[in-house]
Amino acid sequence: MKKNSFVHRILAPSPFKLGFLLVLISVAIYYSFHNQKPQILNDYDNRITDTMFHIRGPQATTGEVVIVAIDHKSINKYGQWPWPRNIIAQLTDTIARQEPASISLDVVFAGPDRTSPQNLISELLPHTKNSRTQKTLQKLQGNLQFNYDLLLGEALAKTSSVLAYSFLMDIDGEDQTEGRPASSLKITTAPQNISLAGSDLFVAQKAMVNTPTIAVRAKTEGFLNILADNSGVVRKSPLVMLYKGLPYPSLAVESFRIGKDMDQAVIRLEHKAQTGQQKISGMSIGDTFIPTDEKGQLLINYRGPFQKFSYLSAADILSSQEEHDLADKHVIIGIAAQGLYETHTTPYTYSIPGVEIQANIIDNIIAGDPLTHDSDKEVLLTFILLVAGGPISFGTPCLHTASCWRLGRYCCSVGTTGYKLFFLSAEAGRRHHLSLCLPHSCLSLRWSF
């Protein structure tokens, strides 16, 4: 009888036992995730982070990034896109005279310019029978002013220029490209002599590169790829990708690096106790450290919705004799005419041109305030929240009260569903940042007040 009574007491439900059981189940479920978060938790974290962007509101830019837009005003004045490259050369020369820190072109010049008179002459010569006319055409063909690709290349050679190219992530037919992208950046690792071949960096299969006449004269090149997540929103951007076994930098990285007159970058790796592997933690350019995730992606701290940055029409640059305060600025030339650019979605807007996303990334690097993810804090907070439910449910004076049971159950549910906690911590000067911590993702957003 006593034995049955003892078994009954053991099996009888109580806040203590249910709370303890819930803690064990929650910890077991979380531990089963290992290093891979379920997609549903990723989506949940992303949605809450988007909400926090709207709560924080738009933020001031550094003022050091300017977009020169090929907009509808420019199209109406200079004709349909793509323009003859002598116009792009003239635009580059005009901007370069104001001595910006860098000039980046968010456009790929793949293949020769078909509007170039030199190429048109090559097509006419086989059909010309008159020898005098042939000699005249051949003389004109040798005139450098009729080679628009060369004109653009020479314009880029005279300034701190960055060309864009595009990586293709899927294998679709044979690789028709020749050579590799022409980046002048030397990338090393710290610790040294660690191969990036087994890292989590994105691996490109092809490269859509610029025509050699232009590419060899630019100071450097960077890829312009912008990758959306499963929900179609651009929240991160890779700063480095692997192509044919070598690391290549992005357009934003090269824009910043050229502006700082640096020639080397270091990919930082940290030892992860959970996996025993070296994982990427960020990139250093000079004394600037840029935090990234393990795939080399920067978590973009968006400044606000569309046209948060300073926009100047290319038509105004080309037609005006006045200066536009571009000295020491990072200038990006890109397409901003609706219907011509590829639209992207951000936490602030459903339609934004890629050139402004590039501007956000450069501005983050300059200000040193991209979002950051702390995996160690993530794991620690998760287990603290999970285990907190047990002691609260059975370790307080109000042991068997319904209120303590509800409180303990709530603490456990916080750990399993990923409610946000907020911590304010001071930085230098009057700036503060709002750290948004989930058990499944800890982010840091700048917050000025």
Residue 244 inside a domain? The answer is yes
Tens-digit pLDDT string for the chain (449 aa) = 555 666 666 666 666 666 667 667 766 766 666 666 677 777 878 888 888 899 999 999 999 999 999 999 999 999 999 999 999 999 999 999 999 999 999 999 999 998 888 777 776 666 677 777 666 666 666 667 889 999 999 999 999 999 999 999 876 655 555 568 988 999 999 988 888 888 899 999 999 999 999 999 999 999 999 999 988 999 999 999 999 999 999 999 999 999 999 999 999 998 765 555 778 999 999 999 999 999 999 999 999 999 999 999 999 999 987 788 899 999 999 999 988 888 899 999 999 999 999 999 999 999 999 998 666 666 666 666 656 655 555 445 444 455 555 555 555 454 444 434 333 232 333 333 344 444 444 444 444 33
Residue 148 inside a domain? The answer is no
**Final residue in a domain of this structure, among 366, 396, 427:** 366
Residue 207 inside a domain? The answer is yes
Residue 161 inside a domain? The answer is yes
Distance CA 56, CA 446 (A): 9
Distance CA 333, CA 354 (A): 11
309 shares a domain with 214: yes
Residue 183 inside a domain? The answer is yes
202 shares a domain with 334: yes
Residue 330 inside a domain? The answer is yes
Residue type, 72: H
421 shares a domain with 317: no
Distance CA 235, CA 371 (A): 10
Residue 129 inside a domain? The answer is no
Hey, what are 72's tokens?
Answer: 């509808």
Backbone Cα Rg of the chain? 28
Read off the pLDDT of residues 259-301 as tens digits, 9 standing for 90 and up: 999 999 999 998 765 555 778 999 999 999 999 999 999 999 9
Distance CA 332, CA 161 (A): 10
Domain housing 425: 14-56+374-448
Instruction: Answer yes or no: are the C-beta atoms of 207 and 214 closer than 8 Å.
Output: no
340 shares a domain with 263: yes
358 shares a domain with 380: no
Residue 215 inside a domain? The answer is yes
Looking at residue 130, its pLDDT comes to 73
Looking at residue 438, its pLDDT comes to 41
292 shares a domain with 398: no
391 shares a domain with 294: no
Read off the pLDDT of residues 55-110 as tens digits, 9 standing for 90 and up: 999 999 999 999 999 999 999 999 999 999 999 999 999 999 999 999 999 999 99
H or E element in which residue 271 lies: strand 264-272
380 shares a domain with 290: no
Looking at residue 442, its pLDDT comes to 43
Looking at residue 127, its pLDDT comes to 67
280 shares a domain with 201: yes
Q: Is residue 156 classed exposed, middle or buried when 0-12, 13-18 and 19+ CB atoms within 10 A define those classes? A: buried
Read off the pLDDT of residues 110-145 as tens digits, 9 standing for 90 and up: 999 988 887 777 766 666 777 776 666 666 666 678
- Spatial strand order in the sheet of 246-249: 203-204, 240-243, 246-249
Looking at residue 432, its pLDDT comes to 37
Count of alpha carbons within 13 angstroms of residue 265, beta-carbon side: 26
52 shares a domain with 27: yes
Which residues are within 8 A (CB) of 22 and not within 5 positions of it... i.e. 6 or more apart?
A: 389, 390, 408, 409, 412
Instruction: Answer yes or no: are the C-beta atoms of 357 and 345 closer than 8 Å.
Output: no
Task: Domain count for the chain, please give it.
Answer: 2
What size, in residues, is the chain? 449
Q: Which of 66, 31, 124, 99 is nearest to 383 (CA)?
A: 31
**Final residue in a domain of this structure, among 366, 385, 414:** 366
397 shares a domain with 253: no
334 shares a domain with 313: yes
**Final residue in a domain of this structure, among 312, 342, 366:** 366
Give pTM, 2 decimals: 0.81
Hey, what are 137's tokens?
Answer: 């055409």
